[in-house]
Amino acid sequence: MENIISIFVKSIFIDNMVFAFFLGMCSYLAVSKTVKTATGLGIAIIFVLGITVPVNYLINKYLLVEGALTWLSPSFIDVDLSFLSFIMFIAVIASMVQLVEMIVEKFAPTLYNNLGIFLPLIAVNCAILGGSLFMVNNEFQTVGQATTFGLGSGVGWFLAIIGIAAIREKIKYSNVPAPLRGLGITFIITGLMGMAFMCFMGIKL
């Protein structure tokens, strides 16, 4: 249990997707103009990461790593399919996003209308694929840990996009040098936020 909590806190603050690994920057920059749309995208990301990371964890553990296929027949002990991981992960992500979209449309039409165009876009968001690839690197022991990591990374991304959206709404009223307006100042603010998040780095969990 303690382990789960430390993975959760670590993936939100210390290994924050945006500030520590720059993942999902494209949509982070494009969709952070207002807090409302940023919230929608953030929730969708938590949702999709929370589903795809455990699914990819199971696929990796029972199909791809060396010796994973022994549950089929003991003679597969030497089979190593890990070179297929990229294509498997992206296929899972693309189909999961499609599935999540259909389920949300059927059972939660209001949420579907709020998320709208963001759901299909998530398939090509690098934070999602990055989540699965870091999950492989971290070598988690159980599905629970992998799910926690997925949800935690999603929450971290959510916090980052809400923060930058709130700042961008306010900065519209300030006098930014013309060539820096819009994109440039957003990069610099993200850098400053990243420095603030660097204080979490010393925490040992």
The residues that touch other proteins, with contacts defined as CB under 8 A, are: 19-26, 29-30, 83-87, 89-91, 94, 120, 123-126, 128-130, 133-134, 137, 172, 177-188, 190-192, 194-195, 198
To other proteins, the closest distance from the beta carbon of 141 in angstroms equals 20
Give the Cα separation of 93 and 15 in Å (integer). 22
To other proteins, the closest distance from the beta carbon of 147 in angstroms equals 19
SS3 for 124?
coil
Contact 89, 134 (CB under 8 A): no
Give the pair of three-digit tokens for residue 59.
């696929």
- Per the rule left: phi > 0, alpha: psi between -120 and 50, beta: everything else, 175 is beta
Query: At what angle are helices 35-59 and 126-138 packed, to 10 degrees?
Result: 40
Q: Residue 58 or residue 176: which is nearer to other proteins going by CB?
A: 176
To other proteins, the closest distance from the beta carbon of 176 in angstroms equals 9
Give the Cα separation of 106 and 152 in Å (integer). 27
Q: Residue 75 or residue 174: which is nearer to other proteins going by CB?
A: 174
Give the pair of three-digit tokens for residue 193.
């936020």
To other proteins, the closest distance from the beta carbon of 118 in angstroms equals 15
To other proteins, the closest distance from the beta carbon of 75 in angstroms equals 25
To other proteins, the closest distance from the beta carbon of 30 in angstroms equals 7
Q: Residue 4 or residue 88: which is nearer to other proteins going by CB?
A: 88
Q: Residue 4 or residue 185: which is nearer to other proteins going by CB?
A: 185
Q: Residue 177 or residue 202: which is nearer to other proteins going by CB?
A: 177
Distance of CA 18 to the CA centre of its chain: 9
Give the residue from 8, 6, 21, 109 showing the smallest Cα distance to 53.
Answer: 8
Q: Residue 37 or residue 125: which is nearer to other proteins going by CB?
A: 125
